[in-house]
Amino acid sequence: MKKISSKNNSDLFEKIKAWFAKVTFHVPFTQKMMFAYHLQTMTEAGLPIVNALKVLSEELDNKKMRTAVGAIKLEVEKGKQLSEALTLFPKIFPPVYISMIAAGESAGQLEESLRQISTQMKKTHQLTSTIRGAMIYPLIIVIAMVGIGLEMVIFVLPKIIGMFNDFKAELPLATRILVAVVNFMQSYGIFAIAGFIGLVVLIVYLIHRPEIKKRVHKFNLHLPIFGGVIKQINLARFSITLSSLLQSTVPIIEAVKITAQVQGNVTYRDALLTVSEDLKKGETLSETLARHRLVFPPMVTEMIMVGEESGKIEHMLAEIADYYSNEVDGTMKNFSAIIEPVIILILGLAVAGVAVAVIMPMYSLAQQF
pLDDT band at 199 (very low <50, low <70, confident <90, very high): very high
Query: Residue 199 class from Cβ within 10 Å (0-12 exposed, 13-18 middle, 19+ buried)?
Result: exposed
Domain made up of 119-369: CATH architecture: Up-down Bundle (1.20)
Interhelix angle 110-151/29-44, rounded to 10 degrees, is 160
Residues of the chain with CATH 1.20.81.30: 119-369
Residue 345 is which amino acid?
Answer: L
pLDDT band at 2 (very low <50, low <70, confident <90, very high): very low
List the end-to-end C-alpha distance of the chain, in Å, as a whole number: 105
Q: Tell me the average pLDDT across 105-118.
A: 86
The CATH T-level fold of domain 2-93 is Receptor-associated Protein (1.20.81)
| Amino acid 73: pLDDT | 92
Gap between the Cα atoms of 37 and 61, Å rounded: 14
Q: What's the predicted TM-score (pTM) here?
A: 0.73
Q: What is the pLDDT of residues 315-355, one digit of tens each?
A: 899 899 889 888 888 887 777 777 778 778 888 888 888 78
| Amino acid 4: pLDDT | 44
Return the half-sphere exposure (C-beta side, CA atoms, 13 A cut-off) of residue 322. 8
Backbone angles phi, psi at 312, to 5 degrees: -125, 50
Cα distances (Å, whole numbers) of residue 65 to 28, 61, 152: 9, 8, 47
Q: What is the pLDDT of residues 18-60, one digit of tens each?
A: 555 444 457 888 889 999 999 999 998 888 999 999 999 888 8
Q: Specify the higher pLDDT residue, 167 or 8.
A: 167
